[in-house]
Amino acid sequence: MKKFVLILALFIGVEVQAQDWKANANVYEVNIRQYTPQGTFNAFASHLPRIKRLGIDIIWLMPVQPIGEKNRKGELGSYYSVKDYTAVNPEFGTEAEFQNLVNQAHALGMKVIIDWVANHSAWDNPWTVAHPDWYQKDSTGGFMVPYDWTDVIALDYSNKGMRKGMIDAMNYWVKTFGIDGFRCDVAYLVPVDFWDQARKTIDKNHKQYWLAEAESPELMKTFDVCYNWKLLHTMNSIAKGEKSPTDIIDYQKDIDTLFKKGVTLLSFVTNHDENSWNGTEYDRYGDRVALFTILAFTLNGQPLVYSGQEAGLNKALRFFAKDTIEWDTFPQEELITQLLELRHTEPALWSGNSENFPQFSKHVNAQCLVYTRKSGQSEITVLANFSAKPATFFVRTNQEVEDVLGNRIYPPSSIITVPAGQAIVLKITNQ
């Protein structure tokens, strides 16, 4: 068995304080239709205490508005084909029941954001009759269908009235229900200056959390958080054997080049799109789901948990039909809870800090990855072994180190063995 050496340097600094609640936050994506057999706000609300115990800070609700019927895909249609921007989907419940859900989440100390589809609407949205000029037109003068999304039509952001109408609709949810922000669907397809305009207008009286489905340095000037697709794709390629674990180092270099240090990216192993269209996390990572989950939650970024992830969701949910998540067991619950607690308590893992980006060790082979994040007295090191055999590391420190997931304490300067396809997270308290 080969021995890989890691030297951990003692680091003494000034304790870093969070600038706002977003720094150590996380997001939980909720698919109301598939979450329970009933598929309603009320049925989902019963899960809120459990979700709070998981350590969740922000509830992201996939679109809650009525779904278009004209040119609908499948039996129930796509959540992202919005029939009315200022109404609640009656399949999910009433406005009062939605308000009750928001209130319950707030009472538990969690924020609530809703999915916002600004690029396109359903064919039978009232705007198509009242304001047909708010839509893009094709060469025949008909409504424009983006890509192969035949159940929706594209909005025209050169129209000032349309922009105001969209911002007014967003403000409706803030003022009426007291939501805390927006996850903006395909934000990269909407002009950046619109998002600037929307945020300045809406945040005047109610500062919101803004999450962009985009991996764009330009959008990071407006949004609090952007997607981290590059990490997901890199992890997927590693799992397939197309890339080496050390390609994560190149990924980090690319992120450092593309984005200003201190930006926050949303990191995940699954979400509604990945699950339905590209396979479950078990399809992509096999028996190494825990390993890749640890990477996504401890590399720079804000972690996302998708509906059912804690329950080991191992089926691709149908997108246009009812397909209930099974809640019989919770094989990933303990791991996710531990990782989220670590993010809450360790500034080394907080987002928006330009000083705590991962520092990678060079003393490993191509099938292992070792990185450390530091902030003041907080220091976290991850030993990740992607190989088919155990890997041994010599961890040199002047103090004890704690295996936070395995609940074990190692003495100073220890030899630590990481099983095949697993990772160990070490907490080092500098004194």
* CATH number of the domain residue 396 falls in: 2.60.40.1180
Classify residue 18: in a domain, yes or no.
Answer: no
Q: What is the per-residue pLDDT for 187?
A: 98
Classify residue 336: in a domain, yes or no.
Answer: yes
Q: Kindly state whether residues 168 and 75 are assigned to the same domain.
A: yes
Q: Kindly state whether residues 181 and 311 are assigned to the same domain.
A: yes
Looking at 347, 373, 405, which one is the last position of a domain?
347
Q: What is the per-residue pLDDT for 11?
A: 26
Q: What is the per-residue pLDDT for 340?
A: 98
Q: What is the per-residue pLDDT for 21?
A: 76
The boundaries of the domain holding residue 397 are: 3-9+358-429
Mean per-residue pLDDT over the chain, rounded? 92
Q: Kindly state whether residues 136 and 166 are assigned to the same domain.
A: yes
Q: What is the per-residue pLDDT for 257?
A: 78
Residue 293 burial by Cβ neighbours in a 10 Å radius (0-12, 13-18, 19+):
buried
pLDDT top residue among 354 and 38 = 38
Residues of the chain with pLDDT > 90, as a percent, come to: 84
Overall number of domains in the chain: 2
Q: Pick the range with the lowest mean pLDDT from 54-58, 154-158, 260-264.
A: 260-264
Residue 11 burial by Cβ neighbours in a 10 Å radius (0-12, 13-18, 19+):
middle
| Residues in a beta bridge with 416 | 393
Question: Is a pLDDT exceeding 80 seen at residue 1?
Answer: no
Neighbouring residues of 107: CB distance < 8 A, sequence distance ≥ 6? none
In 186-222, which positions are buried (b, 16+ CB within 10 angstroms) versus exposed (e)? bbbbbebebbebbbeebeeeeebbbbbbbbbeebbeb
Q: Kindly state whether residues 338 and 383 are assigned to the same domain.
A: no
Q: Kindly state whether residues 385 and 425 are assigned to the same domain.
A: yes
Q: Kindly state whether residues 229 and 340 are assigned to the same domain.
A: yes
Q: What is the per-residue pLDDT for 300?
A: 83
Q: Kindly state whether residues 68 and 191 are assigned to the same domain.
A: yes
Q: Kindly state whether residues 400 and 333 are assigned to the same domain.
A: no
pLDDT top residue among 252 and 20 = 252
Q: Kindly state whether residues 367 and 263 are assigned to the same domain.
A: no
Classify residue 176: in a domain, yes or no.
Answer: yes
Across 382-395, average pLDDT? 95
Classify residue 408: in a domain, yes or no.
Answer: yes
Q: Looking at residue 318, which CATH number applies to its domain?
A: 3.20.20.80
Question: Is a pLDDT exceeding 60 seen at residue 8?
Answer: no
Q: Which of 81, 155, 80 is nearest to 122 (CA)?
A: 81
Classify residue 16: in a domain, yes or no.
Answer: no
Write out pLDDT tens, residues 258-306.
777 667 899 999 999 999 999 999 999 999 999 999 999 999 889 999 9
Do 157 and 133 contact (CB within 8 A), yes or no?
no
Question: Is a pLDDT exceeding 60 seen at residue 4?
Answer: no
Write out pLDDT tens, residues 170-199.
999 999 999 999 999 999 999 999 999 999
Residue 18 falls in which region: left (phi positive, over 0), alpha (psi -120 to 50) or beta: beta
Looking at 305, 324, 347, which one is the last position of a domain?
347
Question: Is a pLDDT exceeding 70 seen at residue 9?
Answer: no
Q: What is the per-residue pLDDT for 17?
A: 34
Euclidean distance between CA atoms 211 and 118, whole angstroms: 13
Q: Kindly state whether residues 326 and 366 are assigned to the same domain.
A: no
Q: What is the per-residue pLDDT for 81?
A: 98
Classify residue 17: in a domain, yes or no.
Answer: no
Q: How confident is the model at residue 430 (pLDDT cuts 50, 70, 90)?
A: low
Classify residue 74: in a domain, yes or no.
Answer: yes
Q: Kindly state whether residues 328 and 363 are assigned to the same domain.
A: no
| Range among 80-94, 202-216, 393-407 with highest mean pLDDT value | 80-94
Classify residue 21: in a domain, yes or no.
Answer: no
User: Which two structure tokens, joined as six digits, stand for 78?
Assistant: 């796509």
Looking at 319, 347, 375, which one is the last position of a domain?
347
Instruction: Give the up-direction half-sphere exposure of residue 394: CA atoms within 13 A in the CB hemisphere.
Output: 7
Question: Is a pLDDT exceeding 90 seen at residue 146?
Answer: yes
User: Which stretches of 20-137 are assigned E, i.e. beta strand?
Assistant: 27-30, 58-61, 111-116, 120-122
pLDDT top residue among 362 and 112 = 112
Q: Kindly state whether residues 324 and 373 are assigned to the same domain.
A: no
Across 348-352, average pLDDT? 88
Across 134-163, average pLDDT? 97
Write out pLDDT tens, residues 114-124.
999 999 999 99
Q: What is the pTM of this model?
A: 0.93
Q: What is the per-residue pLDDT for 307?
A: 98
